[in-house]
Structure 1
Amino acid sequence: ADAAAVIRSLGETEAVVVGSDWGGLVGWTMAALHPRTVRRLVVISAAHPRRLRAGMSTAQQRRAMAYALRFQLPAAEQRLTRADDDPVADLMRRWSGPSWVHTSDFAEAVERYRSAARIPQAAYGAMEYYRWAGRSQLRPDGLRFARRMAAPITAPTLQLHGAQDGHVLPATARGSDRYVAGAYRWRELPGVGHFPHEEAPDEVTAAIADWAR
């Protein structure tokens, strides 16, 4: 609802919505629950919420998201802010495509995210996404959300996903089209991990611009 309100606050009734990771989950949600605000949808590195929920039944996806279980622990954000630990760099190495990891661009990205994560309240806010996602699974609010997300998405949808994504596995993201009633295109990016917009920015930008026309 908040993201849909941003569109209205700008004096528009609809927009091309582009989201990556958690932003992608927001995009899926907007398209399902506020369909009139989404003219076209581009989702990057994010399975449809119901597809992700189903994917967690596999050992491979559970291993890929094992860190999210640790984030459920009280004060988990304190680890992100400690100078003697570096979970941000560790996660980014595991989630990224192998070629990007060895570039100076990757090192700069790690430093940016590390600096942001070490802001105490920012780290806490980041944990809360994962805590709601985990703890709501069997609560009324989580079950209600899952039911509502079964609504077919009518907005034309482009789904971009890195073939080497070590966070949301391609096998989990595939099949999200079962929740799309409108035009749909799946595009898997070879050699790319969980950060396509940073690992292959030119290719991703061109794909978004083409879909948004």
Structure 2
Amino acid sequence: MEHATKDAVEEPQPRPQEPGQRGLIHGYADIGEIRLHYVEAGTGPLVVLLHGFPEFWYGWRNQIEPLAAAGFRVVAPDMRGYNLSSRPAGVAAYGADAVADDIRGLIRELGAESAIVVGHDWGGTVAWTMAMNHPEVVDRLAILDAAHPRKLQEGLPHPRQLRRSWYFFFFAAPGLPERVVRADHYRFFRRFLRDARPEYTPDEIARYVEAWSQPGATTGMINYYRFSVRQSQKKAKAALKPIAAPTLVIWGLQDRYLGQSLAEPHSKDVPNLVGVERLPASHWVHHDQAEQVNQLLVGFFGSSGGAK
């Protein structure tokens, strides 16, 4: 299986199309055997942005500068398996618990005790898990189009949601998904992004293709799904804990992957839910409605008292 050790990851080169080129800092943090690449901008309370599938740190290009300008230290990592971060071998390395441990370690490596955590899609799953497993490092939690694990468990068996989530089970197969997604210049992955409005530009798509083309990245990205499908659902349900952090959910009304019934978590799981904001957007709500999402996030962060 393709993989890269942390020592095999090379420093990235600046790119003219990256947002805020003069203000962006690329960095690495070694968390145990995992090396995480991240992009940083701004000063102030720490905000960590966790990307989803099939994105990488660049998925937050419309948020990094505005949040930094609003007075926050913004850090957007590539999660393990993606782009310039380590791609460990084996499906077992890609459980949400392990990835949440990475981000907890990153927060500490950045010199902070805690952070405001924002997650989209798989990054949202990791953010939910962080808030359950490591509540001491999560000051506030913002979730974009990512169902709480209990809601996803409850919703996935329904036929309509099963049709929406068919790729979960396609990705669970060994070997075949990698061959399919690499064909025709990663057409399979590109199709996931096609409903974004405005459409992703050719330059933006080129950045994604370059990230997907990193050695071992395709397998690493798909392994998140393999682990999710193969894990014991009974054990996963038993591990759920109430989330203490104030939580905001932002959801696209035209999300074609996750139904609207999955947006609002149960009150027993998220007793401090601030609200569920539904916007006219696709699954890529942070792209489609970037300005409104940024306003919602800054407003939500502003009453947090800041990360320590």
TM-score between both structures, scaled by the size of structure 1:
0.86
Query: Aligned Cα RMSD in Å?
Result: 1.9
Q: Is the alpha carbon distance of 1:106 and 1:45 closer, same or farther for their aligned partners in structure 2, counting shifts above 3 Å?
A: farther
Q: Is the alpha carbon distance of 1:196 and 1:108 closer, same or farther for their aligned partners in structure 2, counting shifts above 3 Å?
A: farther
Distance 1:107 1:164 in 2: 23
Percentage identity across paired residues of the two chains? 31
Q: Is the alpha carbon distance of 1:41 and 1:85 closer, same or farther for their aligned partners in structure 2, counting shifts above 3 Å?
A: closer
**Distance apart, 1:177 and its partner CA:** 4.3
Q: Give the equivalent residue in structure 2 for 1:113.
A: 208
Contiguous gaps of at least 5 residues in structure 1: none
Equivalent runs, 1:148-187 vs 2, <5 Å: 148-149=239-240, 151-187=241-277
Letter in 1 for 2:288: E
SS at match of 1:187: strand
Contact 1:27 1:43 in 2 (8 A): yes
SS at match of 2:254: coil
Q: Give the equivalent residue in structure 2 for 1:12.
A: 112
Contiguous gaps of at least 5 residues in structure 2: 1-100, 303-308
Q: 2:147 aligns with which of 21, 32, 47?
A: 47
- C-alpha deviations, 1:31-61, integer Å up to 9, x for none? 1111111100000110101111111021111
Q: Which moved more, 1:117-126 or 1:78-87?
A: 78-87
**Distance apart, 1:165 and its partner CA:** 0.4
- C-alpha deviations, 1:158-207, integer Å up to 9, x for none? 000100001122222234444112242100012x0111111111111111
Q: Is the alpha carbon distance of 1:165 and 1:108 closer, same or farther for their aligned partners in structure 2, counting shifts above 3 Å?
A: farther
Distance 2:106 2:290 in 1: 25
Higher strand share: 2
Equivalent runs, 1:91-102 vs 2, <5 Å: 91-93=192-194, 96=195, 100=197
- C-alpha deviations, 1:54-94, integer Å up to 9, x for none? 1102111110110121111121112121227611232223x
Letter in 2 for 1:194: H
SS at match of 1:50: helix
**Distance apart, 1:106 and its partner CA:** 5.0
Contact 2:185 2:209 in 1 (8 A): no
Q: Give the equivalent residue in structure 2 for 1:86.
A: 187
Q: Is the alpha carbon distance of 1:161 and 1:72 closer, same or farther for their aligned partners in structure 2, counting shifts above 3 Å?
A: same
Distance 1:81 1:156 in 2: 40
Q: Paired residues, what number?
A: 201
Letter in 2 for 1:3: I
Contact 1:80 1:117 in 2 (8 A): no
SS at match of 1:17: strand
- C-alpha deviations, 1:125-146, integer Å up to 9, x for none? 011000000011x3xxx53332
